[in-house]
A and B are shown apart, each in its own frame.
Chain A
Amino acid sequence: MLADVRVKKIKEILLEYKHIDINTLSSLLSVSMATIRRDLDKLEQESFLVRAHGGAFLNDPAVDEVQLSGSEDPYAQQKREIGILASALIDDNDIIFIGGGVTCLQIAKHVKNKKHVTIITNNVNILTELASNTEISLKAVGGDLEVVDQCLTMAGDISLETLSHMYFNKSFVTVDAIDLDNGYFTNSPQQGKIIRLLQKNSDDLLIVADYTKFGKRAFSYVGELLMTRKIVTNIDLSESYKKQLFESGFQLYMTFDNQ
């Protein structure tokens, strides 16, 4: 691979993942770690990235926003795959709501090749992500600022007031816990209120949640299990949950590990 092509490839990877380690880069591009280090040094001089121990971060103020929790998200890959799958469920001409959290942010990142889509969101990170996308009509919901799963998110009376006048083809939201007997839970009571409102204001309410969210409860009750019958999650979901959800008439979309 030519050096120019390789450097361009590294840039692409970093723009998508925001940070990456040398090991992975070297196996992805099939070149030695020493070569990768040289390329990263070059890119650091261009201020494109910041070198860190064993890898590099994209030099981008937005990265700080994504890294709000300060620690690495162990399920980042699972959330990314859910985002890709959920974005495939968006049709042309849809008017959709996308809520707070990293999984929802991943949906927004992968809305591609869709025509005349309108996105309404209370997720500030989605606004910055989609700001440059001219194909999408983007509308923001205001309100009180909360941090939901590493994302700056609006909530409270102002959000509810705005959303109560809107109607959506599809709403994508995330929850913090799903329990077969008790239903859905969020850590923030305010986000729960928004989901309850969306249930009334949407043709389809889709819950996006990685498999670790199942089989537990969280602080604030959102609603019973059957308030929606569409869930996007990972293939790693336990067999008993798959079985019971499928047999209760759930449309259960699952992602496979891409290796």
Chain B
Amino acid sequence: MIRLERIVKTFEHRLILDHIDLQLEKGKIHGIIGDNGAGKTVLVNILSGVYQPDQGTITIDGKPVRFSSPKDAIRAGIAAIHQETQIVGKLTVAENIIMGDRSGISRSTWFVSWKNMITESERILNQIHYPLDPHRLAETLNLGQQQILKVARAICSSPQVLIMDEPFTNLSEQEIKTFKEIITSMQSSGITIIYISHDTDDILRRCDTLTVLRDGQVIHSGPNSFLGSIPPIRELLPIQDAFKYPRVPTRPGRKILEITNLKTGRGVHDASLFLRKGEILGITGTLGSGKTGIIKALLGLERILQGTILLDGEPFTPKDPHHAFSHRIGYLPEDIRKDWLHEDMPFSHNLTMSNLHELHGRMALHPELEAEAARRYITSLKIKVSRLDEHISQLSGGNKQKVAIAKLLFTDSRILILDEPTKYLDSSTRIDVYNLMSKCAGEGMAIIFISTDERELKGMCDRILVMKKGTCHNFFHRKETGRSFPLDLYTAPGEEPMGQSLNSPTRGSTPQRMESE
């Protein structure tokens, strides 16, 4: 039994956890839900030794414990898969796993047995039925595989308690299935699991107990069956409704981008698409479908073997992301923490570094221009910061995403590429992001919206491109997507698709035909 009593944590005088009391029984699955900024992640970080509480005690089986580092927590049998754990790209799969706990492979403090490391990591990967080559460099894995790697790292110390913060983000259907099997098998072996997710359905289905956090306080905690019926939970339950997205209709203008028969070194075999001013084009597909490959080619990160890109009617060969940026193509990466924001820099520097030309005086940058820009975005996007020089690392997930988008808007791009912009966000921030997309499209920007959430794609996009195995599988138009047929991401081309709607005559049989209207 793990017991948390009167846990208090503040950051920069802001109360993040407000006297949290929590009891976690052994061998059970405990679900924690709450908004962005409710304190879920901070609570996880306290339990796993990343942060130390300002007040309050943690006891395990009646004995008080104090973790001064994650290592202490691991020794006490508590391992965590953090929402934002970093995989070290330049190390191998085996090294990434074993860095979770080295004690299993070598008794010496000074030496590492590489042979043991490989066999041990293979054993762990077999345990979760996910074979990966232990010699492979972690940076060659896709985000889904990296997430599995985090699990392997967490269970390498054979923990008694496993904390999972939003574990299904970035996973494909198949991987989620694997992941859920891992959870079930670990539960049957008696491990206590703490499970944090926005997927309220899955939490309600899976967990023995439920805790609801709001503004740093526990507003409900108890057995799942009792809680399922009370209002606070029901308020958090997502409602299946594709019509709730606030898209203001726009009249698309001229074609601003046209890609024809694109083939790249990796992932994309034959892709054609166009994008008009004022339009939101959705691109979806499973991992490996080539949806990110197109974007990489557009940003000059992937070699183009065949095909043409026309930007405003002029041939455009992207050399690198900076080249693309200078042609006013803005890209918001999926992993903003790794690829976009600088955690240990102030909010205002983060915001403006995407376009320092705006701040230029004759000799140097003008700090007052930076402050003005920062204040402008704080009011217009309702970013919650206490000071302009507050570090990004102090902000909640939803606010980080808003800063990330503000930074993109500051570039004055005419094409915005948003890669899963709502993935980590709770409803109140998501609705802000949707409205912002709608506003940008209304002002004549062209938006490419990459997502695997069918509902948001159908709700927000004028057209949706479904990618499969590196080719354009199908285009959907807005008037069709309002109806409730599946986008059919998971059947491969050539296979017999499910559902009668796919035989619908309005669809057209080839993507090219839909394209040329």
Interface on A for B, CB 8 Å cutoff?
85, 88-89, 91, 229, 235-236, 239-240, 242-244, 246-254, 256-259
B residues near A244, Cβ cutoff 8 Å: 235
Is B243's CB under 8 angstroms from A251's CB?
yes
B residues near A242, Cβ cutoff 8 Å: 427-428, 431-432
Is B236's CB under 8 angstroms from A256's CB?
no
Stretch with Cβ within 8 A of A (4 or more), from B56-64, B342-350, B359-367, B435-443: B435-443
Is B248's CB under 8 angstroms from A253's CB?
yes
* Shortest Cβ distance from residue A219 to the other chain B in the assembled complex, whole angstroms: 27
B residues near A259, Cβ cutoff 8 Å: 376, 379-380
B463-492 interface (Cβ within 8 A of A): none
B246, B430, B439: which contacts A251 (Cβ < 8 A)? B246
* Shortest Cβ distance from residue A257 to the other chain B in the assembled complex, whole angstroms: 5
* Shortest Cβ distance from residue B461 to the other chain A in the assembled complex, whole angstroms: 15
Is B236's CB under 8 angstroms from A247's CB?
yes
Residue of B nearest to A238 (CB): B428
- Is B245 at the interface (CB under 8 A from chain A)? yes
Give A85 to B238 CA distance when docked, in angstroms: 27
Is A247's CB under 8 angstroms from B427's CB?
yes
- Supposing A240-B428, A243-B426, A247-B237 touch, asked if A253 and B435 sit within 8 A by C-beta, the answer is yes
- Is B122 at the interface (CB under 8 A from chain A)? no
* Shortest Cβ distance from residue A34 to the other chain B in the assembled complex, whole angstroms: 26
* Shortest Cβ distance from residue B264 to the other chain A in the assembled complex, whole angstroms: 37
Listed residue (A88, A244, A247) with the most chain B CB atoms within 10 angstroms of its CB: A247
Give A137 to B363 CA distance when docked, in angstroms: 58
Is A246's CB under 8 angstroms from B249's CB?
no
Listed residue (A250, A254, A257) with the most chain B CB atoms within 10 angstroms of its CB: A254
Give A23 to B430 CA distance when docked, in angstroms: 38
* Shortest Cβ distance from residue B420 to the other chain A in the assembled complex, whole angstroms: 18
- Is B314 at the interface (CB under 8 A from chain A)? no
Interface on B for A, CB 8 Å cutoff?
35, 235-239, 241, 243-246, 248-249, 376, 379-382, 426-428, 430-432, 435-436, 438-439, 442
- Supposing A88-B248, A242-B428, A243-B35 touch, asked if A249 and B239 sit within 8 A by C-beta, the answer is yes
B residues near A240, Cβ cutoff 8 Å: 428
9 residue pairs from A and B, CB less than 8 Å apart: A243-B35, A244-B235, A246-B427, A246-B428, A249-B239, A249-B241, A251-B245, A252-B431, A259-B376
A residues near B436, Cβ cutoff 8 Å: 256
Known: A239-B428, A257-B380. 11 other contacts (CB 8 A): A235-B380, A235-B381, A236-B382, A242-B427, A243-B35, A243-B431, A246-B430, A247-B237, A249-B239, A252-B244, A256-B439
Is B238's CB under 8 angstroms from A247's CB?
yes
- Supposing A88-B248, A236-B382 touch, asked if A248 and B239 sit within 8 A by C-beta, the answer is yes
A residues near B432, Cβ cutoff 8 Å: 235, 242, 254
B residues near A85, Cβ cutoff 8 Å: 248
Residue of A nearest to B241 (CB): A249
Give A239 to B436 CA distance when docked, in angstroms: 16
* Shortest Cβ distance from residue B467 to the other chain A in the assembled complex, whole angstroms: 28
A88, A246, A256, A257: which contacts B431 (Cβ < 8 A)? A246
Is A250's CB under 8 angstroms from B380's CB?
no
Residue of A nearest to B248 (CB): A88
Residue of B nearest to A245 (CB): B431
Interchain residue pairs A-B with the least CB separation, the first 10: A249-B241, A243-B428, A242-B428, A239-B428, A243-B427, A254-B435, A253-B246, A246-B431, A246-B427, A249-B239
* Shortest Cβ distance from residue B472 to the other chain A in the assembled complex, whole angstroms: 30
B residues near A253, Cβ cutoff 8 Å: 246, 248, 435, 438
* Shortest Cβ distance from residue A170 to the other chain B in the assembled complex, whole angstroms: 12
Give A100 to B235 CA distance when docked, in angstroms: 33
* Shortest Cβ distance from residue B195 to the other chain A in the assembled complex, whole angstroms: 20
Is B244's CB under 8 angstroms from A229's CB?
yes
